[in-house]
Structure 1
Amino acid sequence: MTATASLTGELALAAEQVAALVHGQDPLGVAYSGGVDSAVLLALAARSLGTGRVCAIIGVSPSLPRSELDSALAVSAGLGVRTVTLSTHEGDRPEYRANGPDRCFHCKYELFERISADLVQREGLAAIAYGENADDARRTDRPGARAAAHFSVLRPLADAGVGKALVRRLAHALALPNADKPAAPCLASRIPHFAEVTPEKLGQVERAEQALRELGFRDLRIRHHGEVARIELPPHEIGRAVTPPLRDLVRNVVRANGFQFVAVDLAGIQSGAFTLPLVSVR
């Protein structure tokens, strides 16, 4: 991978617009999850400001799977950007544990507050940015954006009009290894709103999802409904999951992680399924 890859046409224009938005904002800290959005922002910032003038910041807590952390560290190392891990304690916040539709606000508030308190002065950072893209900026189920605005966190991709499809194209052009990585929302998103978020539930989901990945499923969610694990898969994977002999393996590895019942949702993967019905304007 390289942040200095040659870009042309629409990709070059997008990179120039992002560069203009971060110009003079160095050293820049990028709140970085290892997902494709924040990885593209990190690569473009390093390309514009120089790898030594950009710092990747990863918030580490029970809501981040270890596999996601390892993948994120590998991508930032490949870009030659220094990475700082920061322990966050959103689980200590009653509002986060209560798991209302504003849970992401409290999680992001914890992250940006800790960055401001622990890193900005120590690292001499001029600004913080995060990887919200233009499509997500238009969604109503992204309360974390309010926390970013409260701390004046920059959102160069969104302000440059870079949506998800363009993010993917940029990731390929920059040869990022996570260019095709499926979206990986935090583990707390697997718990229905108003059911308490606990480390035990997050650990259950993480272990069960990892077990399914080891069976060959790449894009998935396990929604935690108490004794019931509701598995969401891309529609083309559902048949495989419910056909013997794999069906019994799926059931057994999920039950081994503390669930009594295992269901496969015929609707497939549903982004924002818990939050959208509660925040959509009727």
Structure 2
Amino acid sequence: MTLKDKEEKLINILKCFKSCAVAFSGGTDSTLLLYYLSKLNIKTKAYTFHSYLYPDSELKDAENTAILLNIEHKIIYIEPLEMIENIKYNPKERCYICKKYMFSMLKTMAENDGCDTIIEGSNYDDRKDFRPGFKAVQEAGALSPLDMAALTKEDIRNLLKQADLDYNKPSFACYFSRFPYNIEISKEMIEIISKSECYIHSLGFNSVRVRYHNQTARIEASENHIKDIINNKEIRSKIITYLKSLGFIFVCMDLEEYKTGSMNRLI
């Protein structure tokens, strides 16, 4: 199918809905859903779950996008380590446990708010990765229109570009994804990763992840960022000094280009 064919399929899917509750992260996928729902004048309410597992900048982006598209927006603050059973042990089915908790809440809120259909932003490319959370989405009766329309990440960015919306926003998985599976995670450990990534981002490197391996910080970055960091002694020194101040003993750069879900290789 061409991009135009996929776009028409998405529009036809969305036209079937009288009212929608959208699980809205503020990322490119759910932003595209809000854009078309707004364009089609379908009654829509966006729901964003926020916690210390995401930087506040992600929430701000979600708020700004909802305002831009004139979509009613509800923010739900949660304490994952305290509220979601066993999540602190980072089991392989972590995404399933977390999404089951959130979509159970979302289903109740959507019913109370008079929304007939729950939708979320999984896309066609997500089928290629280990995505246990998708099972929870299906169990909640939520639909994934982007996946149903066979829209890939590249397709989504192209459609956002056509709509004059931010199409270059990097994907962002929660901070749990920075840790190996089956280790106990504390709020302090999450804060260390958050501070590490925010600091490196402040130096101008946006496509970066800091993976936690006990006393070692393993930095993953895009190919261009790898070159820029390795070839700049001053930048390297700043990163090493700051990450060691947070408690890491070793700071290393992964020579393989950053890819989402790299910790899934350990499964």
**TM > 0.5:** yes
For 2:189, the equivalent position in structure 1 comes to: 201
Partner of 2:116: 126
TM superposition shift of 1:26 = 3.0
Report matched runs for 1:79-98 at 5 Å. 79-91=69-81, 92-98=83-89
How many equivalent pairs are there?
265
Secondary structure of the structure 1 residue equivalent to 2:128? coil
Asked if residue 250 in structure 1 is aligned to residue 242 in structure 2, the reply is no
Report if the CA contact (8 A) 1:233-1:269 is conserved.
Answer: yes
CA-CA distance at 1:260 after TM superposition: 2.7
Q: Which residue of 2 aligns with 1:48?
A: 40
Partner of 1:115: 106
| Among candidates 206, 221, 227, match of residue 209 of structure 2 | 221
Greater shift, 168-177 or 237-246, is seen at: 237-246
Deviation for aligned residue 1:70 = 1.1
Q: Name the structure 2 match of 1:30.
A: 22
Structure 2 letter corresponding to 1:210: C
Tell me the amino acid that sits aligned with residue 117 of structure 2. A
Deviations along 1:88-121, one digit per CA (max 9) or x if unpaired, are 343233332221221111111111011123x123
Other structure's SS at 1:274 match: helix
| Per-residue deviation, 1:276 | 4.3
Task: Name the aligned partner's letter for residue 49 of structure 2.
Answer: G
The match for 1:16 is 8
Amino acid at match of 1:69: L
Q: Distance in 1 between matches of 2:107 and 2:233?
A: 52
Distance between the aligned counterparts of 1:14 and 1:106, measured in 2? 31
Structure 2 contact 129–261 (Cα < 8 Å) conserved: no
Matched, 1:60 2:50: yes
Deviations 1:40-86 (A, max 9, x none): 11111222234xx1111101122121111112211221111111101
Moved more, 269-278 or 213-222: 269-278
Measured after TM superposition, the shift of residue 277 of structure 1 is: 4.5
| Distance of aligned partners of 1:93 and 1:274 in 2 relative to their CA distance in 1, 3 Å threshold | same
Question: Over aligned residues, Cα RMSD in angstroms?
Answer: 1.8
- Is 1:185 paired with 2:173? yes
1:261 is aligned, of 250, 257, 261, to: 250
CA contact under 8 A between 2:93 and 2:132: conserved in structure 1?
yes
Give, in whole Å, the separation in 2 of the partners of 1:163 and 1:14: 10
- TM (norm. structure 2) is 0.93
The one-letter code sitting in structure 2 at the alignment partner of 1:146 is K
Structure 1 Cα separation of the partners of residues 206 and 115 of structure 2: 36
- State the SS of the aligned residue for 2:86: helix
Alignment check: 8 A CA contact 1:140 1:276 kept: no
Q: Whole-Å Cα distance in 2 between the matches of residues 232 and 110 of structure 1?
A: 30
Contact 1:88/1:114 (<8 A) preserved: no
CA distance in 2, matches of 1:228, 1:276: 18
- Which runs of 5 or more structure 1 residues have no equivalent in the other structure? 1-8
Does the 8 Å CA contact 2:22/2:120 hold for their aligned counterparts? yes
- Kindly indicate whether residue 148 of structure 2 is the aligned counterpart of residue 156 of structure 1: no
> Unpaired segments of 5 or more residues in structure 2?
none
Question: Which range moves more in the overlay, 224-233 or 146-155?
Answer: 224-233
Identity across the alignment (%): 27
